[in-house]
């Protein structure tokens, strides 16, 4: 006790008070905010789709016969007019030769009857019969020539041919149900994308209300994302939207065409198409970390008013765009939305607001983003 008195005496003599040190006045909690502003953005929709060939041809024989030779390599590219199969031409050549043999006699007979008709040496009926026989023979000659030509089975389109369902020596029949092979044109290639009628009606209402405008000269441009998540290098063009709704899926088909010079896209592949909806000229975007949820899952944000007080604002969200939310209702231009430091404050509290980007440059002042439901 004596030592303590001496210590206090010495401190007092030095001009320092022995009373308890006063704490500095409390500082306002600091939060980083984003100033709400309207901006034009291009809205897109990502939809699943499937590729399909631009052209497809199933090769079937047009005459009965025996396959003498297959003239292509399975899986190779073929050209329009290229011969694919050779059917034994012997019976068709014989039919052609036979018709050719009788045709001169029939033509000569018809000519004689025509001359005799002038002199009334034959009846009109005799001449008509001879002339009809000549025309039938000429038609038979043309048919034999066509059938002989059909023994050379050629490709009607250019594309990639698949496997052959027959081998040399197989017997085939005209227009048989089983195709000999299938050819598909893959450059360009189609991508068929189903769009729900609900989404279609929503888009039409937004266009009619003026909330969306056309996307400009590139409004029909479509981007493609492959199954492994990579972006397809070439853009496609939206060709049409089907006019019929599939009753099983309640959707319509959007068809886009894409260049495919390297054969990356194959028929039947699953892809994701990014389709342009239009431009929202009055869009409001805020960081996703600025949005939290109430116990019922409704989105909300904290804003700082002109007096520096925190207010809670309920929101209506349209969609996520990158790391931001597109806000349809609840915010107005000029609002200061808290992006970082939300867990340090409550509605009604007075805070010090600093710009969001500036706050990010000061890690010591930045709060951990609040978790949000997406």
Chain segment 117-127, per-residue pLDDT in tens: 888 888 888 88
Please tell me the number of Cα atoms within 13 Å of 302 on its side-chain side.
26
- Model confidence at 361: pLDDT above 80: no
Which segments of 6-147 are extended strands (E)?
30-35, 38-59, 65-70, 77-78, 83-87
Angle, helices 90-118 vs 124-150, to 10°: value is 160
For residues 152 and 45, the model is more confident at 152
For residues 200 and 364, the model is more confident at 200
- Residue among 39, 51, 49 nearest 274 (CA): 49
- Model confidence at 44: pLDDT above 50: yes
Please state, in angstroms and rounded to a whole number, the distance separating the CA atoms of residues 266 and 263: 7
Please state, in angstroms and rounded to a whole number, the distance separating the CA atoms of residues 312 and 317: 16
In this prediction, what percent of the chain has a pLDDT beyond 90? 52
Secondary structure class of 188 (helix, strand, coil): strand
CB atoms within 10 A of CB 327: 23
Query: Is residue 223 left, alpha or beta, with left meaning phi > 0 and alpha meaning psi from -120 to 50?
Result: beta
- Model confidence at 153: pLDDT above 50: yes
pLDDT tier, 9 (very low <50, low <70, confident <90, very high otherwise)? very low
What is the structure's pLDDT at 86?
A: 97
- Residue among 336, 369, 371 nearest 37 (CA): 336
What is the structure's pLDDT at 197?
A: 83
Q: What is the CA radius of gyration of the chain?
A: 41
pLDDT tier, 45 (very low <50, low <70, confident <90, very high otherwise)? confident
- Model confidence at 14: pLDDT above 80: no
Taking the domains of the chain in order of start, what are their residue ranges?
Answer: 30-41+282-360, 43-54+184-280, 66-88+151-178, 89-150
Q: Give the contacts of 22 (CB within 8 A, at least 6 positions apart).
A: none
Strand partners, 221: 237
Is residue 92 exposed (0-12), middle (13-18) or buried (19+ Cβ within 10 Å)? buried
- Model confidence at 81: pLDDT above 60: yes
Architecture of the CATH domain 89-150: Orthogonal Bundle (1.10)
Q: Give the contacts of 348 (CB within 8 A, at least 6 positions apart).
A: 309, 310
Tokens of 215: 């996307």
Average pLDDT, whole number, for the chain?
84
202-256 per-position pLDDT tens digit: 777 766 766 666 655 566 888 999 999 999 999 998 888 777 888 888 888 888 9
284-326 per-position pLDDT tens digit: 999 999 999 989 999 999 999 988 899 999 999 988 888 899 9
Its pTM stands at 0.69
What is the structure's pLDDT at 171?
A: 96
Average pLDDT of the segment spanning 251-280: 90
Tokens of 47: 């939809």
What is the structure's pLDDT at 217?
A: 54
What is the structure's pLDDT at 358?
A: 42
157-175 per-position pLDDT tens digit: 999 999 999 999 999 999 9
For residues 360 and 252, the model is more confident at 252
Contact 315, 291 (CB under 8 A): yes
Helices (runs of H) and strands (runs of E) counted in the chain = 5, 20
* DSSP per-residue letters across 324-367: EEEEEES--TT-EEEEE-GGG--TT-B-EEEEHHHHHT-TTTPP
136-148 per-position pLDDT tens digit: 999 999 999 999 9
Residue 342, φ and ψ in degrees, nearest 5: -65, -35
224-236 residues labelled b (16+ CB within 10 A) or e (exposed): bbeeeeeebeeeb
- Model confidence at 271: pLDDT above 80: yes
Please state, in angstroms and rounded to a whole number, the distance separating the CA atoms of residues 65 and 52: 33
Query: Is residue 308 left, alpha or beta, with left meaning phi > 0 and alpha meaning psi from -120 to 50?
Result: left
Which of the four CATH numbers 3.60.20.10, 2.40.30.170, 1.10.3470.10, 3.40.50.720 does domain 43-54+184-280 have?
2.40.30.170
Please state, in angstroms and rounded to a whole number, the distance separating the CA atoms of residues 207 and 201: 10
Alpha carbon separation from 336 to 27, 32, 242 (Å, rounded): 20, 9, 45
Of 81-90, 104-113, 205-214, 242-251, which one has max mean pLDDT? 81-90
What is the structure's pLDDT at 277?
A: 79
Contact 51, 189 (CB under 8 A): yes
For residues 42 and 369, the model is more confident at 42
CATH topology of domain 66-88+151-178: OB fold (Dihydrolipoamide Acetyltransferase, E2P) (2.40.50)
CATH topology of domain 30-41+282-360: 2.40.420
- Model confidence at 36: pLDDT above 80: yes
- Residue among 188, 268, 277, 184 nearest 236 (CA): 188
Please state, in angstroms and rounded to a whole number, the distance separating the CA atoms of residues 363 and 329: 32
């Amino acid at each position: 006790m004596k030592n303590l008195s001496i210590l206090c005496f010495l401190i007092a003599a030095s001009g320092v008070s022995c009373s308890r040190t006063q704490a500095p006045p409390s500082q306002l909690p600091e939060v980083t905010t984003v100033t709400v502003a309207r901006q034009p953005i291009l809205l897109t929709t990502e939809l699943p789709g499937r590729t399909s060939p631009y052209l497809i041809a199933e090769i079937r024989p047009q005459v009965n016969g025996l396959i003498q030779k297959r003239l292509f390599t399975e899986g190779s590219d073929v050209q329009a007019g290229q011969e694919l199969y050779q059917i034994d031409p012997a019976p068709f050549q014989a039919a052609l030769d036979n018709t050719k043999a009788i045709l001169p006699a029939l033509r000569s007979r018809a000519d004689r009857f025509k001359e005799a008709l002038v002199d009334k040496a034959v009846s009109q009926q005799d001449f008509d019969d001879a002339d009809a026989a000549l025309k039938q023979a000429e038609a038979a000659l043309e048919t034999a020539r066509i059938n002989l030509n059909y023994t050379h089975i050629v490709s009607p389109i250019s594309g990639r041919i698949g496997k052959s369902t027959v081998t040399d020596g197989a017997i085939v029949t005209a227009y048989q149900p089983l195709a000999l092979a299938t050819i598909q044109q893959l450059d360009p290639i189609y991508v068929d994308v189903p769009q729900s009628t609900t989404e279609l009606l929503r888009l039409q209402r937004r266009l009619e209300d003026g909330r969306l405008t056309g996307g400009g000269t590139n409004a029909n441009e479509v981007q493609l994302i492959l199954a492994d998540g990579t972006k397809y290098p070439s853009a496609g063009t939206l060709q049409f939207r089907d006019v019929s709704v599939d009753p099983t899926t309640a959707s319509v088909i959007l068809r886009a065409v894409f260049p495919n010079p390297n054969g990356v896209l194959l028929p039947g592949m699953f892809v994701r198409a990014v389709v342009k909806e239009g431009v929202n000229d009055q869009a409001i975007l805020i960081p996703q970390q600025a949005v939290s949820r109430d116990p019922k899952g409704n989105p909300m944000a904290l804003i700082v008013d002109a007096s520096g007080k925190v207010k809670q604002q309920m929101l209506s969200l349209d969609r996520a765009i990158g790391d931001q939310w597109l806000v349809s209702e609840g915010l107005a231009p000029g609002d200061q939305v808290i992006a970082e430091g939300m867990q340090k404050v409550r509605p009604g509290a007075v805070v010090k607001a600093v710009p969001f980007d500036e706050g990010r440059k000061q890690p010591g002042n930045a709060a951990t983003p609040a978790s949000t439901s997406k």
